[in-house]
Amino acid sequence: MSLDDIRLYTLNASAMAISFTNAERALKILLLAVSIIYTVLKIIEMKTKKMKLTSNFNKSEFDSKDGFDMPDDVLENIKVVAEQLQVLRDTLNMPITVNSAYRSVAHNKKIRWGKKQPTHNWQSS
């Protein structure tokens, strides 16, 4: 879904909320509010997926392949790694491809580890 599609959806939803009885109007206003919230969330999602970490690395290259959002503390670590990779890329003057960086626990179980969790995912309680 593109940003233009989202804007068109919101405009259509707002046009529908114009001439109804009070109960219908309240319901339409509620639906309009939900559509606006949905639009804002989609815009935020689109912007964070395309977030530039360095001049050559985007956040999307480091995301879990199942679409699960990485926690903020992981993102901070990924930013450091991206900066280090950028230095390496600039030094070598060659592109670097990131095949895998962050995996959600669910994605890790699905692709390789089954019910067993690798030690680098263990969290102390």
How do the domains of the chain map onto residue ranges? 1-49, 52-119
- For the stretch 7-59, pLDDT in tens is 666 666 555 555 456 778 888 888 999 988 888 887 776 666 678 899 999 88
Which residue has 């109804």 as its token pair?
20
Whether residue 124 is predicted with pLDDT greater than 60 in this model: the reply is no
57-62: long-range contacts (C-beta < 8 A, 24 or more apart)?
Answer: 57/82, 57/85, 57/86, 57/98, 61/98, 61/101, 62/98, 62/101, 62/102
Cα→Cα distances 25→10, 18, 21, 30, 106, Å = 16, 7, 6, 8, 42
